[in-house]
Chains A and B, each alone.
Chain A
Amino acid sequence: MRELKYQLIKVTVQEQNFLAKFSTNLDKQYKKVTGIHVSLPDDALIGSTIYLKMAGKEIFPEGFEVKMISSGQEISPNDRFFNDIEEPAEGNLIEGNFKDRTYSPDRAASIQYPYDVLIYLKLEEKA
């Protein structure tokens, strides 16, 4: 049976239109990344964008909307992951940024700053 691990990256967004950069290492005990899911505290934030690189390779380009890899809480945890990805983990660097964006002033008023964005990574095959 394949061994799985879910690695969490927490990104704090301080204010409206904030660009939050992040950088960390993938778990070196696992061989590959096979899924990603971004959890937001409010649906009004789905127009925010994420830029992501793993081991120097671009995974999501600038302007990539978070809603493409996000979902509501009514979805079971297993089904929340975007699975069209397979990249080596093995301690490689994962880096990128999250750009806060709300659709309108009305929706922005409902957002409580600062807030945390949770990026979940699904890792497989313990080395």
Chain B
Amino acid sequence: MEKTSLWIIHPLNIERPNKSYEFSIKLPAHFKKCKAVGFSVLENLLSPKAVTKHFGEISLQFNSRRVFPVHTGVEYKKIYRKKTRELLDINVALVPNQIVSGFYSDYGKTYDAISEDFEPYTLNLYFQCTTATEIPQETTK
């Protein structure tokens, strides 16, 4: 039953504003495909100043930088009212033992409600993968 997804969750702790954070992740060798990715912010951004849709951007490269499927803004949704998935389909065929790398750039838009200082937060990166071997044609570059 290969339809069931395998998940990797990689947290990024964003401690300083307007800074880029590089990351490098080694996915398990038996993962054959990354179907989708998701980005989730854990902390509540309380200040009215912080109610901004985009507060950072992220770039992902797979297979040791040979595949570059995603460079996108990271959005914050204050109220969750939509269909189930918060995921972006990418369908990248994974080469075993290669790394996923990239960077996240914070826009400095999160403020503490009282002090109005920068409010640190955690960005969770979700990788929805599978051990299935079939690869859609459009994923190979």
Contacts and interface: CB of A to CB of B under 8 A. Distances in A.
A107 B124 CA distance: 21
B66 interface: no
Nearest to B3: A86
Contacts of A59: 4
A47 to B, nearest CB: 6
A3 interface: no
B7 interface: yes
Given A67-B40, A68-B38, A106-B46, A85 B84 contact: no
Contacts of B4: 57, 59, 84-87
Contacts of A63: 9, 11, 124
B107 interface: no
Contacts of B46: 104, 106
Contacts of B87: 68
A60 B1 contact: no
B141 interface: no
Interface residues of A, number: 33
A72 interface: yes
Given A64-B7, A68-B38, A104 B44 contact: yes
B126 interface: yes
Contacts of B11: 63
Contacts of A57: 4
A28 to B, nearest CB: 17
Contacts of A85: 3-5
A71 B83 CA distance: 6
Nearest to B126: A68
A75 B2 CA distance: 27
Nearest to B4: A85
Interface of B: 1-5, 7-9, 11, 35, 38, 40, 42-44, 46, 79-87, 124, 126, 128
Given A86-B3, A103-B43, A107-B44, 19 more contacts: A32-B1, A47-B42, A61-B8, A63-B11, A63-B124, A67-B86, A68-B87, A71-B80, A71-B82, A75-B82, A79-B84, A81-B84, A84-B5, A84-B128, A86-B2, A86-B4, A88-B1, A103-B44, A104-B44
